[in-house]
Amino acid sequence: MNQGTWLQPRHGSREAFEKDYPKIEANGLDVTCPGCRDCARLTRRSPLGKIGGWCKRCNRGVGT
């Protein structure tokens, strides 16, 4: 499993993350959260093609 990174700038809320990453990916990518080391599933895509996900435990956006 790949190591994830925090999304920059830091998304303070889930709503801001979902606005920046509006498209839902059917085939998500699993990465390790850089904070808690849990599995974070990257299931959202930005208009620029970046993929991201949300770590529920850390309450923060995670990317590759």
Q: Are 2 and 57 in contact (CB under 8 A)?
A: no
Using an 8 Å Cβ cutoff, are 53 and 43 in contact? yes
* Residue pLDDT, tens place only, 2-39: 999 998 876 678 888 999 999 999 888 999 999 999 99
Token pair of 40 as six digits: 């974070």
Domain membership of residue 61 (yes or no) is: no
The secondary structure element, H or E, covering residue 35 is: none
Q: State how many domains the chain has.
A: 1
* 29, part of any domain: yes
> Within 10 Å of residue 28's Cβ, how many Cβ atoms?
15
0.75 exceeded by pTM: yes
47 occurs within a structural domain: yes
Confidence of residue 1 (pLDDT cuts 50, 70, 90): confident
The verdict on residue 24 lying in a domain is: yes
Q: What is the C-alpha to C-alpha distance for residues 7 and 44, in angstroms, rounded to an integer?
A: 12
Q: Residue 8 has what pLDDT?
A: 80
| pLDDT at residue number 3 | 93
Return the minimum-mean-pLDDT range out of 5-9, 17-21, 50-54, 57-61.
5-9
Structural domain for 8, as ranges? 2-54
